[in-house]
Chains A and B, each alone.
Chain A
């Protein structure tokens, strides 16, 4: 009997370790697909409230990865009243990020104190955390099995913050991630509140190869806040990778002079 119990426990442990391993492997493939030195995107951001009212913004986004850090520059092109406004974020190794905002009416950029990662990005349903790159070292990933998302086969992986720092700063108790088998891109994520309640859903589709490369991207994304019945959609019109941006791209000077 005791032998049997031990066997069950061991098998259980082994199964769970195996599930962890598979989960991590799936996420490594995702990382391989998405984690590139640089990326340029043009997109429309549509915020839709529960009564169907919409707010549209057009923006360009430049992303550069340097080691563990990521720099980004967002330039607004529409509506006209905010055209030319831009937001620059530089990630630093051992200190807080630098944020700079350029508003055309002020004719110069202003430094802005950094915000919480659980804060909303541009008032959308994405938080800064949702837009962060997946740092595999910060989470444990457990493979939960297979699933179908929008008619396509996917892996189901549960991600839980593993490091003390991440546990402290995250706004979620867990995420259930669906990874498209064919493209290794995340096509759906269910977000759970610290209380364990399913509060948000991310969905992505329109998977296409990036022109001139073998990498794939989801050209349509949405995030739905289930509590507020509010939704943000991102429609990408252009995605370019391996652009090799000029060296002063992510600087205050570019921010103020325009691109």
Chain B
């Protein structure tokens, strides 16, 4: 086949694949439900499934009404609350009889004429200031109401609605936001709960992509211009960038991988990686074009660059693929799609660019790469490194030691609310709930008595109360609710409101008949979510006033210990809820991170040993990336940046890209040695060729990655800073450390074996 025919075929292939992947991109979906993030076999996933099976699959919506001054016990605010409750009932999926709030609270009080049951504040009563004053006095000190449904200062009223799973996040969020705009003022309306959080993350992702993607594209265009200073030199690599984004997002669509907070960085990652591939290919072309005619330039370019591109493509994608050891779905998906993306980039760079350059050859630029500032810098760097090799090595070891100190400070754990910047509404809402009410996040606990009707057994109920009181005493727990509250309250009211009777009654008959009274007294919707149908299991909800994950772990561990030491053997306790998911997830992140680092280092070292057919070179190639990974973790430790979902993927990406530098460097160095150059000369030539390419690489990668710093999500901002840091350290590790290291190892040899060769030369 002639070159031109091949070029046409190549171009046709690219166009066809672009159409194919373009279609895939239309199938992309955004997803942030953490339920599917963890393996089904996980203990917490299993107990959560059980909780959902027993008490229904439900999410919660929280609406807060906060008055700037005075309190919420005014007709204006209370009527507004009732109107909001009525509107909530009309939202698709909201269970109308499972709305918990002061007005809908099923209040059982003993009056002179009998028992007052049913909703606390009806429409008529909401407009009656005298009645509201009475309610205000009654709420004071009531453990079921104060700090739960109304803040102690009386300024914040809480409405919690259950929503059956399967609702449309879009619709619910839109309805809530619309409600907020209509009802806000003078009261502040706060929105929280699962659909709100998820939608805010979705919106954040969309906003991020809308801002970061164009920004990254503009920056990379500028970067290309700086490199090539020609229209063609900007257009060609830019095409590689655009197509690699389309292909990779399309592949995500076809593979059914959703866009998550983690994988939302994929397009920009593609920009960073593909730009350096494009630059490499084009540089080589112009290098050849200076001496050859158009077609020969393409041929030579391919011959010389293809092996390096294939090799670095392989190591980068394998390194990304090692993320599949994580048991967290979004990280695993990210690893898969990044690996696919890198393969795409390799194909596009090796097919599209040669095809286009064959069909539309570029003129030689005439711009050499010889003696300029960079050349002097590189040569200088080599000499400094080689002549001060002990100092360089000592410096490196010192830095590693320092990093290890930092590593000890490294904390794990994340909190999705900290994804958002401090001034974000969701974050301020959470802060308000944490400060003024018992919090906005919770642990759900299933207390299983092991037998039907077990919850009518006073002894077991007392154990449950003691367990709840223990939970309440732990710092970080806002309040605890369960159906024991209802039993205690009825007991008290049936004994003339005497506080001494706010306790579990003595007999199972009493408990059973109180439950009957409660059932007769009206809406039992709030009850269904607290007790199993056959009174075997109850749900305890512990609201948490902190987002600090270490505190969550402490609470969980304390409860588990209490459970083992204090509760009857027949009682089993299971933990679930959104907070538990994050706790479980972090366990996998730490474990996955360790496995992932070890695996990528082993694979890449093995690969290098094979490629270089040398154990020594294999080991040396891994040193900069190991050093850089340690330094990144050390820095995180010193800066207090935690190891969590976003930061966990950094080393995989860093190692994948970092190994490219080592391969480029060592290959060239060995070629130069093989060509008979002394190690000093070889190092210098390598620095001026491969080293220069590495600098361009770092430059283009930094342009791409720095864009993350402008993200709306803090973990992605951190990702931007840290991956840039990793890039720089790995480049320095390669460019400064390698000459020193290599001169050490070769000088040892030189003294024995190569001395005669030098003599011959």
Contact = CB atoms under 8 A, between A and B. Distances in A.
B345 to A, nearest CB: 49
Contacts of A229: 56
A105 B95 CA distance: 34
A60 to B, nearest CB: 15
A81 B516 CA distance: 10
B509 A104 contact: yes
A21 to B, nearest CB: 34
Contacts of A122: 516, 519-520
B513 A81 contact: yes
Contacts of B747: none
Interface string B106-118: 0000000111111
B456 A81 contact: yes
Contact of A228 (B56, B115, B510, B512): B56
Interface string A212-230: 0000000000000001111
B525 interface: yes
Given A105-B509, A123-B528, A110 B53 contact: no
B92 A111 contact: no
Given A51-B53, A197-B92, A112 B512 contact: no
B516 A103 contact: yes
B169 interface: no
Given A85-B513, A105-B510, A112-B117, A55 B534 contact: yes
A119 B118 contact: yes
A57 B508 CA distance: 16
Interface string A49-89: 11101110000000000000000000010010110010100
Nearest to B525: A120
A120 B305 CA distance: 76
Interface in A193-249: 193-195, 197, 227-230
A51 B54 contact: yes
B164 A120 contact: no
A1 interface: no
Nearest to A98: B114
Contacts of B501: none
B116 A49 contact: no
Contacts of A81: 453, 456, 508-509, 511-513
A120 B513 CA distance: 17
A101 interface: yes
Interface string A87-120: 1000000000001010111100011110110011
Given A53-B534, A111-B115, A116 B522 contact: yes
B480 to A, nearest CB: 23
Given A55-B533, A113-B117, A197-B92, A120 B97 contact: yes
Nearest to B50: A51
B interface, over-half SS: mixed
Contacts of B528: 123, 228, 230
Contacts of B95: 227-228
A106 B389 CA distance: 92
A55, A87, A106, A112 interface centre (most CB from chain B within 10 Å): A112
Contacts of B758: none
B517 A101 contact: yes
Contact of A76 (B118, B516, B535, B536): B516
A146 B118 CA distance: 41
Contact of B92 (A49, A87, A195): A195
A55 B53 CA distance: 17
Contacts of A19: none
A48 interface: yes
A53 B54 CA distance: 9
Interface string B524-543: 11011000111110000000
Interface in B453-467: 453, 456
Contacts of B481: none
A55 B534 CA distance: 5
A54 B513 contact: no
A48, A123, A228 interface centre (most CB from chain B within 10 Å): A123
B602 interface: no
Given A115-B522, A120-B524, A110 B119 contact: no
B76 interface: no
B90 interface: yes
B191 to A, nearest CB: 21
Contact of B494 (A54, A106, A116): A106
A99 B113 CA distance: 12
A47 interface: yes
B30 interface: no
B565 to A, nearest CB: 30
A47 to B, nearest CB: 6
A106, A115, A229 interface centre (most CB from chain B within 10 Å): A115
Nearest to A112: B115
A54 B534 contact: yes
Nearest to B93: A227
Contacts of A87: 520
B549 interface: no
Nearest to B513: A103
B379 interface: no
Contacts of B507: 105
B533 to A, nearest CB: 4
A112 B114 CA distance: 6
Nearest to A171: B96
B115 A113 contact: yes
B456 A103 contact: no
B300 interface: no
Contacts of A119: 118, 522-523
B520 A112 contact: yes
Contacts of A53: 54, 532-534, 536
A82, A122, A229 interface centre (most CB from chain B within 10 Å): A82
B639 to A, nearest CB: 48
Contacts of B521: 112, 115
A101 B515 CA distance: 13
A94 B522 CA distance: 22
A149 B96 CA distance: 30
B516 to A, nearest CB: 5
Contacts of B97: 120
B164 A227 contact: yes
A215 B54 CA distance: 41
Contact of B118 (A105, A116, A197): A116
B54, B56, B92, B522 interface centre (most CB from chain A within 10 Å): B522
Interface in A157-171: none
Contacts of A79: 453, 512
Contacts of B523: 115-116, 119-120
Nearest to B122: A116
A113 B119 CA distance: 11
B515 to A, nearest CB: 8
Contacts of B53: 50-51
Interface string A18-47: 000000000000000000000000000001
B123 to A, nearest CB: 11
A123 B524 contact: yes
Interface of B: 53-54, 56, 89-90, 92, 95-97, 113-119, 164, 453, 456, 494, 507-513, 516-517, 519-525, 527-528, 532-536
Given A105-B513, A113-B117, 4 more contacts: A82-B513, A112-B117, A113-B118, A197-B92
Closest 6 CB pairs of A and B: A111-B114, A81-B512, A123-B524, A123-B519, A49-B533, A53-B533
Interface of A: 47-51, 53-55, 76, 79, 81-82, 85, 87, 99, 101, 103-106, 110-113, 115-116, 119-120, 122-123, 193-195, 197, 227-230
15 contacts: A51-B54, A53-B534, A55-B534, A79-B453, A81-B456, A81-B508, A87-B520, A112-B114, A115-B522, A115-B523, A116-B118, A119-B118, A122-B516, A195-B92, A228-B164
